[in-house]
Chains A and B, each alone.
Chain A
């Protein structure tokens, strides 16, 4: 299996604090890779380093064989890296379809064209229909973003990300603030994503993580604590200690719900 993303020894310091400390991580093509860790472990910093909104203090990030360490987030997006944000980041005054179309027309190259009417880009329309269908939003295409529920906004985030035709999709805590039913629907959505799209999921909800992930990396105090298939992670004592301190931690990782 080839790697879509390779980080080698990346470190991010804020003053004295090393928020991400010498992390080396490989994400395989087609993987459903989850990144977990207690609060303050450096997950969000690592996400921003990968997304390109922060630059690492040291280390190297290689996307699809190309060194992207010094590249902007826009550049990385054009290179096939898409992301959804922890806090929904959408175009509030536009319709659901237009939100996806903005992403799709960047890919098709219509985003700067004056002669193309927004109502007659066949490529863009086709892409919009497909992405909305994949994320279960087809019947909401005419609604405004401000009329969507929280869960639907997260679905739309994914639709927008998919429209950029990514090879790697980063999801930053997508189920934060969701009800159990919404989380379940969202997990189902991630499961139904095309296999060519590699997914890196940063997530708090361990039920969702163990349901989706084919591989899990655990971050603790900025360092990579463990990295392996779900079964190994579940059994790892270090991981259990990091999550709850030493003590009775079995319940947290019991294969209880749906796994």
Chain B
């Protein structure tokens, strides 16, 4: 945005300046109501309508993508909003999945209970891990989170009594929507449940990102040293967001289990962490909704296109990643031709 030269006679251009400046802050709520809300509502409606016209296969695929999208969005809160790169976000996801699966098996398959267990498990793991790793930054943080996730991965494979070892956790019952009620076997209903919970947590993450705390997170991302010289305990800020992201990743894990009814150590392995990070980068760091699109693309490529290429899916993924970095440096979220057009109209 350039600052127009104001000649004394041009009252008109003065007013234009005021409008442009006003667009910077207070009217973001206006933009939200007029532009973001209708688009968001339309997308939610379209997603809601999927089971009415699509086959169960598609609903199942979308259910899985929604769960993984929630994982990616929670990772985006860490990586994109707060500048804390994690290569181990599959750990709280997987621990949440195990917690949900075990709770469904041993306690009750009534949906909110495994969900809550997963959230708590993801949060507890993140508290323990966060106390250590959040004190580091950049590459060190990346390596430490990776190391912790690998530890959890190995543990999941070895602790056979609890996790079922490398065979995975089997025999997870189908969820119920009333305590002791009928198990849900319809793909459509399962999809709606996952959609509703994923949306709930997505909205929660958006609220966090737009809150005063979210502004502190961006401050940490931009200039952590300045934050501490302004009197912030940067550890507290980073630790809090780490735990929030871990809790939501745990919730995502429980949604994943609702559909697959199976957890194995692979679900908290390096590949899941890496693909989630890939989804965030392709989607555009810091936008949250971009990560949803990124997930859809990444997992569509892996699960649908990859098998057609006879084991060369990784190659395609690599090519897409390189293309995304060069062609969309700010991801899907960075594409905003219509908006720029709008602004030009206002200014003229």
Contacts and interface: CB of A to CB of B under 8 A. Distances in A.
Closest CB pairs A-B (n = 6): A142-B24, A77-B231, A91-B222, A110-B212, A78-B231, A74-B228
B230 interface: yes
A58 interface: no
A93 B218 contact: yes
A53 B213 CA distance: 25
Nearest to B218: A94
Contact of A112 (B1, B221, B236): B236
Nearest to B17: A139
Contacts of B158: none
Nearest to B232: A106
A47 B195 CA distance: 55
Contact of B229 (A73, A114, A139): A73
A196 to B, nearest CB: 19
B218 A91 contact: yes
A92 B228 CA distance: 16
Interface in B231-246: 231-234, 236-237, 240
Interface of A: 51, 53, 72-75, 77-78, 83, 89-95, 97-98, 101-103, 105-107, 110-119, 121, 124, 139-144, 147, 160, 164
Contacts of B215: 94, 98, 101-102, 105, 111, 118
Contacts of A89: 223, 225-226, 229
B25 interface: yes
A102 B216 contact: yes
A112 B216 contact: yes
A93 B2 CA distance: 16
A126 B32 CA distance: 23
B331 to A, nearest CB: 15
A83 B231 CA distance: 11
Given A105-B215, A117-B207, 11 more contacts: A74-B233, A91-B226, A93-B221, A95-B24, A106-B216, A112-B236, A114-B208, A116-B211, A121-B212, A141-B24, A147-B1
A142 B25 contact: yes
Interface of B: 1-3, 17, 20-26, 28-29, 207-208, 210-216, 218-219, 221-223, 225-234, 236-237, 240
Interface centre among B215, B222, B226, B228 (most CB of A within 10 A): B215
6 contacts: A72-B228, A91-B223, A94-B218, A106-B231, A113-B213, A144-B1
Nearest to B23: A142
B222 A117 contact: no
Contacts of A139: 17, 21
Contacts of B232: 74, 106, 111
Nearest to B231: A77
A139 B21 CA distance: 7
A102 B212 CA distance: 8
A106 B219 CA distance: 11
A72 to B, nearest CB: 7
B219 A113 contact: no
Nearest to B240: A112
A78 B21 CA distance: 32
A66 B22 CA distance: 43
Contact of B22 (A93, A117, A121, A142): A142
A139 B14 CA distance: 11
Contact of B230 (A98, A102, A114, A142): A102
Nearest to A124: B212
B21 A119 contact: no
Interface centre among B1, B26, B210, B230 (most CB of A within 10 A): B230
A107 B232 CA distance: 9
A140 B1 CA distance: 11
A78 B207 CA distance: 27
A144 B25 CA distance: 11
Given A91-B223, A114-B207, A117-B211, A83 B229 contact: yes
Contacts of A121: 212
Contacts of B226: 89-91
A78 B233 CA distance: 10
A89 B23 CA distance: 25
Given A74-B228, A95-B25, A111-B232, A143 B1 contact: yes
A92 B221 CA distance: 10
Contacts of B17: 139
A106 B236 contact: no
Nearest to A144: B1
A226 B147 CA distance: 56
A153 to B, nearest CB: 13
A75 B232 CA distance: 9
A80 to B, nearest CB: 10
Contacts of B26: 119
Nearest to B20: A142
B142 to A, nearest CB: 21
Nearest to A96: B24
